[in-house]
Amino acid sequence: MTQAIQFQPNANAGVIGALQQAAAATGVDFAYLYANARAESGLNPAARASTSSASGLFQFTDATWLAMVQRHGDKHGLGWAAQALSQGASPAVKQTILSLRHDAGVAARLAGEFTRDNAGKLQAALGRAAEASDLYLAAFFGAGGAIKFLKSMAAAPGMAAASLLPAAAAANRSTFYHRDGSARSLAEVHDLVANRIHRHLGDEPAGTILPPAGRSMPPADPALAAARARMAYLVLAAMQ
């Protein structure tokens, strides 16, 4: 089935290209990556959150971004960054690595890896394949928070969501509370968050987010790898 995608008229062609390349490189559905980026940043690689450290096309927080670079950087031309982090990178080098969130190509590839990681965790915990709404909850709350949320919602959908995830509620008041200040239930927050991703997926379901087990993964883009290697050289040279 062909995925119906409603493209934003003024979307930057470079961003769309980065998402397409990331989908090919990580095996994650382009439609999901596109919808996620639209929901998170409006396809703006320079976007910054006002209530947290979230930044870039996919609004990675500082901690999550650094963890993803250390875990998956080698596959996408960021071996220098992964090595620097594993060896205790200086604040200046960490800031350089964090700034890569605003590179659409890097952000999209690590968002694909993040999606794959979360899909595996969700499937293991829930006993079923993760759906687009599950994956977006994981992007929003972290895999652990999403699992906690979904399991609690299954048992008590009317429970106040803010009481379950107080830190997330403090950073996202409009998601967890109505305009009159009353708390939204788990079911209400789920519907609100799920709608954010579904409205950007077009008229059809997201379909298969991940490729079948055993499908080979394309290698990192050589041009991207070369660019990151040059950045590594410049950073390391500046440290000497």
**Residue-level pLDDT at 171:** 85
**Residue-level pLDDT at 212:** 45
pTM for the structure as a whole: 0.80
Residues 36-86: tens digit of each pLDDT: 999 999 999 999 988 889 999 999 999 999 999 999 999 999 999 999 999
**Position 79, amino acid:** G
- Annotate 157-178 with b (16+ C-beta within 10 A) or e (fewer): eeebbbebbeebbebbeebbbe
The DSSP letter of residue 21 is H
**Residue-level pLDDT at 239:** 53
**Residue-level pLDDT at 4:** 43
Task: Report DSSP letters for 76-121, one per residue.
Answer: GT-HHHHHHHHT---HHHHHHHHHGGG-HHHHHHHHHHHHHHHHHH
- 3-state SS assignment for residue 162: helix
Hey, what domains does the chain have and what are their CATH numbers? 13-211 (1.10.530.10)
**Residue-level pLDDT at 12:** 73
Of 131, 112, 120, 113, the residue nearest 213 (C-alpha):
120
Low-confidence ranges of the chain (pLDDT < 50): 1-7, 9, 203-208, 211-220, 222, 226, 233, 237
C-beta separation of 34 from 206 below 8 A: no
C-beta separation of 76 from 223 below 8 A: no
